Amino acid sequence: MRLQDFAQVVRSKNAGPRRFTLDVIFRSDPDYQRAAQSEALTAEKIAPLYGVPASAVQVINYPLGRAIKIVIPRRIMSGDPGDRDVYGAQQHTPLLGLEI
């Protein structure tokens, strides 16, 4: 099953000019547990999707909120020439097709 098929919310936003965060929120505890225990949502699997080293990716689990937060460095600083997403709001799409 793909992440987009059972996550309630998948979104991204800036976390300052040099990083963005990906928030993945689930409707139920079983859905959250499935994703949190999946090998698909690890720094090693996410890093290649964004062209950054795995050591630069943080995956933070929030069981009480049934959420997973992922912090990734931006390859181009927000607002610099070549930046096509100043707010970091369109960075979540590579996660949607991940098989969980």
Q: How many CB atoms lie within 10 A of CB 85?
A: 14
Structure tokens at 71: 């912090």
Q: What is the pLDDT of residue 83?
A: 92
Q: Identify the pLDDT of residue 21.
A: 98
Residue 79 near residue 86 (C-beta atoms within 8 A):
yes
Low-confidence ranges of the chain (pLDDT < 50): none
Please tell me the predicted confidence (pLDDT) of residue 82. 92
pLDDT in tens, 28-54: 999 999 999 999 999 999 999 999 999
Fold of 3-74: Alpha-Beta Plaits (3.30.70)
Cα 71 from chain centre: 7
